[in-house]
Amino acid sequence: MNPSDPIPADPLKRPVVRLRPKAEARALRHGYPWVYADELVLDRRTSALPPGALAVLEDAERRPLGLVTVNPASKIVARMLDRDPGAEVNEAWFVARLSRALSLRDRLYAAPFYRLAHAEADGLPGVVIDRFGEVAVVQPNAAWAEAHLDALVAALVRVTGVSAVIKNGSGRARGLEGLPEETAVVHGAAPAGPLPVPMNGATYMADLTGGQKTGLFFDQRENHAFAARLAKGGRVLDVFTHVGGFALAALAGGAEHALAVDASAPALALAGAGAKASGFADRFATRQGDAFAVLEDLGREGALFDLVICDPPAFAPAKPALEAGLRAYERIARLAAPLVAPGGSLVLCSCSHAADLSAFRNASARGIGRGGRRGQLIYTGFAGPDHPVLPQLAESGYLKALAFRLDG
């Protein structure tokens, strides 16, 4: 069975799935959105449901808890969609969710460049939507969203008026749901080339069809702005820059010069294009290579910067990778700290779900100490308000940014 198999639309005909007697229903009643495989009765009937099927979830006493989407092939076997077990998931249902999400972003941002839907926190489990002006990029990372993609896209166009919608079906999350990787234009026409995105006084170039994730990371916007204040008049090193990340924001904030490091030549080309579009080309340079190797080389060269930022990909995307991930964060801090000039600042970031703030902060502090430096923690940042956190789901608050002011 696959997400294209028929799924009963009539609420009266929906299957019923039930929690095991020892499963904790209280958390679900209080807003926790996930049910794991060992919490659900996975009999032959439930196990035969197609990925993305809608079902009524009941507790062990057969009391309804809400409408869920079921994927027997996933560790997260059920995701709460609606507290009303009779809710109909159709275009109108998506319009209501997206309208609520849009009302928040309209209050926050003057221009339509932001994350419009942040999965569970916006009532759309596994669905990420980033908006780039007249273009939206959708990541349907759960089987139910794949099955209802037509209704989702129709509602998205209706609510926002975007002229194009791109489906980005790539990434680890889709693999865990048993979904294939694919990218396609599902409404309108894709931009002919990289799209300019204004943010924090700079212009970023986003590749919406061939870049990482949706093409640009909006989550660091507020952390970029804080780092830019530290960068004024100084020299900046931005490691794991992607398409310019912290470097372009720092230059917009008055940095004297920025060196951007990334392993990806296409990403650095986009960063360079962004620097040119922003009028910063004469103060911007790039260096391609493995981040750890480049940090080691810069250390041997005796290079010093007033602000160093390291914003790596998730080193600990899941619990099995936690210990190795924390060692990698510690190593990054150890290599980066000696590159900070006396009185300068070091910004370290983590987007790892499995590494909570305390663990990441401790690994960073150990690394700074092993790098022969001491410092004050002057800032702790998270994703911006267009990436809201569902309080009951710690995983929705994945991003951490720490700024340290280092001594001599």
* Structure token digits, residue 243: 């398409």
CA–CA distance from 216 to each of 12, 70, 270, 359 (Å)? 42, 31, 11, 27
Q: Which of 55, 81, 328, 351 is catalytic?
A: 351
Residue type at 176?
L
Residue type at 317?
P
CA neighbours closer than 13 Å in the CB half-sphere of residue 93: 19
The question of whether 351 is a catalytic residue gets the answer yes
What 3 state SS string does the chain have? CCCCCCCCCCHHHCCEEEECCCCCHHHHHCCCCEEEHHHECCCHHHHCCCCCEEEEEECCCCCEEEEEEECCCCCEEEEEEECCCCCCCCHHHHHHHHHHHHHHHHHHCCCCEEEEEEHHHHCCCCEEEEEECCEEEEEECCHHHHHCHHHHHHHHHHHHCCCEEEEEECCHHHHHCCCCCEEEEEECCCCCCCEEEEECCEEEEECCCCCCCCCCCCCCHHHHHHHHHHHCCCEEEEECCCCCHHHHHHHHCCCCEEEEEECCHHHHHHHHHHHHHHCCHHHEEEEECCHHHHHHHHHHHCCCEEEEEECCCCCCCCHHHHHHHHHHHHHHHHHHHHHEEEEEEEEEEECCCCCCHHHHHHHHHHHHHHCCCCEEEEEEECCCCCCCCCCCCHHHCCCEEEEEEECC
Residue type at 212?
Q
* Rg of the chain taking only CA atoms, in angstroms: 23
Q: Residue 165 pairs with which residues in a beta bridge? A: 136, 187
The residue assigned the tokens 């340079």 is 285
The C-alpha atoms of residue 228 and residue 250 are separated, in whole angstroms, by 4
The C-alpha atoms of residue 36 and residue 18 are separated, in whole angstroms, by 12
Instruction: Name the residues annotated as catalytic.
Output: 351
